[in-house]
């Protein structure tokens, strides 16, 4: 959306920071590793003031929202730090720094955007903020409470994306399954997905970050009967031990989690389940970890990511005295990832001989292979299907491919 404002003001958008006169960095401040990455990126971009064309450096987003004063003092190379609270006056503040008369008087909006994810895939944000208040998470303090967008506004944006040529629509929010509760008094994600399926042009529709306690029978049914909706559930569980879940202030317990997973698998054949887990949460014992490990072995998730607990400023969990040693966290992460690698290999080997529709994302660096994805993979997170390049396909094409080989978390296929 910020890019959209620059485009509206007749700026040329470039991908190479070496060429840019104005560099804008959108930062994340969710966990320690993300904060470090954001700061390193700011410092890296600051070098283009010396070696490139950069005249103005702007940083915005979650990290700035949390640490604006500290950042202004410690990184003077940045000409403007913009917190999330200032987004309604975004262009007014930017135009003062870059010394340009402004014609934009409207606040930042979802319709005024430039798609930076290619010509085929786009993300559709349906809400801002989060009200779940998990004890380890800083997002409610950064982004504020959960606020749904009006359904008609979302559908209008989706219509524009379809007309633009988008084929894969990915619906996102901090918790998509809570969509509509604040506006309409009840969750309406299932209804929204139904309406999105009626928009001509979309080939695939996905939704991410579905919290387990809010996955209803209605939502499962909508996914089951709509061919456009990928049979893929991204469910951030974070743990399985009831004791840890309670300390995390999660709304699900182990019994309800197990029931939800079993119900989805029963109702939707060949469904892909993705989740994330946190190891080393304060007070996590060996018994708690063993429960988590055994559940991962039982549930056999097709996709699983593991994070070491990160102590975040201002969160209740950061005040708990029973912090787990970093070596213990790493050991537990390694154990679960070793298990998941074995599970993933078995799951992927079951795909050999099967034929899938896949979208072409691009090509390998040496141009020998097509890089594609089926419904089983989301962009930049999951695996890739590598197919020998026949020189006849382009990014964005949909192809049929047969799986012939497995490589760790990726697949090898051939066009059929």
Please give the Cα distance from 365 to 361 (Å, whole number): 13
- Encode pLDDT of 297-335 as tens digits: 999 999 999 999 999 888 999 999 999 999 999 999 999
- Encode pLDDT of 285-301 as tens digits: 999 999 999 999 999 99
Nearest alpha carbon to residue 308 among 345, 335, 340: 335
CB 18 within 8 A of CB 48: yes
Same domain, 343 and 375: no
* pTM, entire model: 0.85
Choose the weakest-confidence range: 27-31, 192-196, 199-203, 288-292.
27-31
Question: Where does the pLDDT of residue 262 fall: very low under 50, low under 70, confident under 90, or very high at 90 and above?
Answer: very high
pLDDT at position 142 is 86
Examine the pLDDT at 207 and tell me if it is beyond 80. Answer: yes
Helix (H) or strand (E) holding 35: helix 32-46
Residue 293 within any structural domain of the chain: yes
Positive or negative torsion for Cα 305, 310, 316, 321: positive
End position of a domain, from candidates 299, 330, 349: 349
Examine the pLDDT at 222 and tell me if it is beyond 80. Answer: yes
Number of domains into which the chain is organized: 3
Question: Where does the pLDDT of residue 115 fall: very low under 50, low under 70, confident under 90, or very high at 90 and above?
Answer: low
Question: Where does the pLDDT of residue 165 fall: very low under 50, low under 70, confident under 90, or very high at 90 and above?
Answer: very high
Same domain, 313 and 199: yes
Structure-block tokens of residue 175:
């918790």
- DSSP string over 356-382: EEEEEEEE-TTS-EEEEE-TT--TTTS
Same domain, 192 and 302: yes
pLDDT at position 7 is 72
Examine the pLDDT at 29 and tell me if it is beyond 80. Answer: no
Please give the Cα distance from 372 to 369 (Å, whole number): 9
Same domain, 147 and 291: yes
Same domain, 26 and 154: no
End position of a domain, from candidates 298, 315, 349: 349
Same domain, 325 and 197: yes
Instruction: Give the mean pLDDT of 171-179.
Output: 97
Which carries the bigger pLDDT value, residue 352 or residue 3? 352
Choose the weakest-confidence range: 98-112, 181-195, 233-247, 308-322.
98-112
Please give the Cα distance from 354 to 86 (Å, whole number): 51
- Encode pLDDT of 80-114 as tens digits: 999 887 877 778 888 888 876 655 545 555 555 55
For position 403, which CATH number holds? 2.40.50.140
Q: How far apart are the first and last CA of the chain?
A: 39
Instruction: Give the mean pLDDT of 124-131.
Output: 95
CB 21 within 8 A of CB 299: no
pLDDT at position 108 is 52
Instruction: Give the mean pLDDT of 271-281.
Output: 98
Positive or negative torsion for Cα 359, 363, 364, 370: positive
pLDDT at position 46 is 92
Same domain, 82 and 167: no
Examine the pLDDT at 30 and tell me if it is beyond 70. Answer: no
Average pLDDT, the chain: 92
Residue 109 within any structural domain of the chain: no
Q: Which domain holds residue 410?
A: 355-415
Of the ranges 12-16, 56-60, 384-388, the best mean pLDDT one: 384-388
At CA 64, angle to CA 19 and CA 329, rounded to 5?
105
Instruction: Give the mean pLDDT of 135-147.
Output: 91
pLDDT at position 112 is 58
Query: For residue 67, with 0-12 CB atoms within 10 Å meaning exposed, 13-18 middle and 19 or more buried, which class applies?
Result: buried
């Amino acid at each position: 959306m910020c890019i959209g404002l620059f485009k509206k003001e007749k700026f040329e958008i470039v991908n190479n920071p070496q060429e840019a006169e104005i560099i804008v960095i959108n930062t994340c401040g969710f966990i320690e590793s993300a904060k470090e990455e954001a700061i390193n990126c700011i410092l890296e971009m600051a070098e283009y003031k010396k070696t490139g064309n950069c005249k103005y450096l702007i940083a915005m987003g979650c990290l700035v929202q949390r640490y604006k004063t500290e950042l202004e003092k410690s990184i003077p190379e940045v000409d403007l730090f913009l917190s999330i609270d200032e987004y309604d006056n975004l262009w007014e503040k930017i135009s003062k720094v870059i010394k340009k008369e402004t014609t934009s008087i409207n606040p930042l909006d979802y319709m005024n955007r430039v798609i930076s994810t290619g010509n085929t895939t786009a993300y559709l944000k349906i809400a801002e903020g989060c009200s779940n208040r998990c004890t380890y998470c800083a997002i409610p303090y950064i982004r504020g409470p959960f606020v749904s967008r009006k359904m008609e506004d979302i559908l209008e944006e989706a219509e524009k994306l379809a007309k633009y040529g988008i084929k894969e629509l990915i619906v996102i929010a901090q918790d998509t399954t809570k969509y509509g509760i604040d506006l309409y008094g009840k969750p309406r994600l299932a209804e929204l997905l139904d309406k999105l399926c009626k928009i001509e042009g979309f080939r695939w529709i996905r939704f991410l970050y579905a919290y387990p306690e809010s996955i209803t029978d209605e939502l499962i049914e909508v996914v089951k009967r709509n061919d456009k909706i990928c049979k893929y559930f991204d469910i951030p569980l974070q743990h399985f031990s009831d004791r840890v879940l309670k300390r995390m202030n999660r709304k699900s317990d182990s019994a309800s989690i197990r029931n939800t997973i079993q119900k989805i698998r029963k109702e939707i054949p060949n469904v892909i389940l993705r989740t994330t887990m946190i190891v080393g949460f304060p007070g996590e014992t060996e018994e708690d970890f063993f429960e988590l490990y055994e559940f991962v072995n039982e549930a056999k998730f097709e996709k699983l990511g593991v994070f070491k607990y990160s102590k975040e400023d201002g969160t209740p969990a950061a005040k708990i005295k029973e912090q787990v040693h970093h070596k213990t966290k790493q050991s537990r992460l390694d154990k679960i990832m070793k298990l998941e690698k074995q599970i993933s290999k078995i799951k992927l080997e079951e795909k050999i001989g099967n034929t899938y529709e896949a979208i072409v994302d691009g090509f390998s660096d040496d141009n020998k292979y097509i890089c594609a994805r089926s419904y089983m993979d989301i962009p930049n997170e999951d695996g890739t299907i590598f197919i020998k390049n026949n020189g006849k396909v382009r990014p964005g094409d949909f192809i049929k491919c047969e799986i012939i080989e497995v490589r760790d978390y990726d697949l090898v296929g051939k066009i059929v």
